[in-house]
Chains A and B, each alone.
Chain A
Amino acid sequence: MKISDFKQLDGFYLDVLREVGNIGAGNAATALAKLMKKKVIMDVPNVKIMEFKEVSELMESAEKLVIGVLIKILGDLPGYILFIMEYKTARLLVDIIMEIAQNPEVASGEFSELEISAIKEVGNIVAGSYLSALSTLTGLKVQTSIPSIAIDMAGAILSVPAIEFGKVCDTVLYIETKFSEGTTNIKGDFILIPALESYEIIMKALGVGN
């Protein structure tokens, strides 16, 4: 099956991805709870398909300051996974992890090198949770690279996955993940970007298509 538009994908494939999201979110919540030493609750993820022109508005405004953690997927299923969250969300997350008192003045400040490492680690954990869910469901082996981080305009960061999707189709598929610790809600978005050859591999492993 050649993919030119995710709208052509049948419900089964999307259901599988949603299930990957569910299992992945569960795994991620457990891992984050360990890191944060707190109870973390994860909502059922939302799987969405977007047009290119909608992509840059994913974080409300294309100019919004966001943090993106890009991880390369190696092994049977080459591709990339991007974890993206608002700058202030990342600030909250880091404060919880590092147990810094939540001071609104500090909250607008820049991240230290140690804090950047913490954000990369969160990206790693959450991305790893999704990938291990995908790996379990498909029986494929995947490894991940060291994460790369970018702090910039949402539109600019989202152009990276959009371009990769652009090579194959005219839409972008993403998974929205919300997690909360106590009264703090933290929202992160996930974009799984399979390499061209990976679509067929996923389909075959799932017994979809021919």
Chain B
Amino acid sequence: MDNTIKVGMAELSALNHPGVLVTIGLGSCVGIALYDREKKVIGLAHAMLPSSLQIKNNTNTNKGKFADTAILELLDEMIRLGASRKNIIAKLAGGAQMFTFNDSSDIIRIGERNVIAAKEKLRELNIEIISEDTGGNYGRTIEFYSDDGRLVVKTLGLGTKEI
């Protein structure tokens, strides 16, 4: 498909059918994919940190950086494109733990915390999570298709799956 948009770290993007949203090399960040099945509007956020509220020195206004603010911003963007709130469902990917140390450092658990934060925000907004491929210790490339909302998850060495 021609209409392919790359979503980089701390970015988010939404589009009307037809199109594909892609994130390459998702690690500890969480990929939040939202889909309006009827209107075929898709949105993808690539959030780095769980919450905009937990950050000291947060002088920036980069909403895509945090799972909580990224979800809200992405919803707004999709509604602007004609999606209806009640039709929207969610899929999650990423949140891996890339390195291991002998203690439970913050840097190590960030992937897990990102996934938890995304789930909490989606629950609060009453958006159903219909599938996820999260955790583990490996990177993922994700492709989100507008025709049927499938999320293709590719890895190096662990194959490809569809969620």
Contacts and interface: CB of A to CB of B under 8 A. Distances in A.
Given A65-B156, A156-B138, A56 B8 contact: yes
Interface string B77-100: 000000000000000000010111
Nearest to B105: A72
Interface in B76-131: 96, 98-102, 105, 107, 110
Given A80-B107, A150-B98, A62 B24 contact: yes
A14 B61 CA distance: 25
A37 B30 CA distance: 44
A173 interface: no
Interface string B36-67: 00000000000011000001110110100100
A3 B156 CA distance: 36
A153 B65 contact: no
A166 B10 contact: yes
Contact of A156 (B25, B56, B62, B65): B25
A160 B49 contact: no
Contact of A163 (B48, B57, B59, B137): B48
Interface string A112-153: 000000000000000000000000000000000110111011
A23 interface: no
Given A52-B8, A152-B156, A68 B28 contact: no
Interface of B: 8-11, 24-29, 48-49, 55-57, 59-60, 62, 65, 96, 98-102, 105, 107, 110, 137-141, 156
Q: Which 4 pairs of residues, A with B, have the shortest CB-CB distance?
A: A155-B25, A156-B139, A156-B27, A53-B8
Given A56-B25, A154-B25, 6 more contacts: A2-B59, A56-B8, A150-B99, A152-B156, A159-B25, A170-B62
Interface of A: 2-5, 52-56, 61-63, 65, 68, 70, 72, 80, 145-146, 148-150, 152-160, 162-164, 166-170, 196
18 contacts: A2-B59, A3-B57, A5-B60, A52-B65, A55-B9, A63-B156, A145-B101, A146-B102, A148-B100, A152-B98, A152-B138, A153-B141, A157-B27, A159-B25, A159-B26, A159-B27, A167-B57, A170-B60
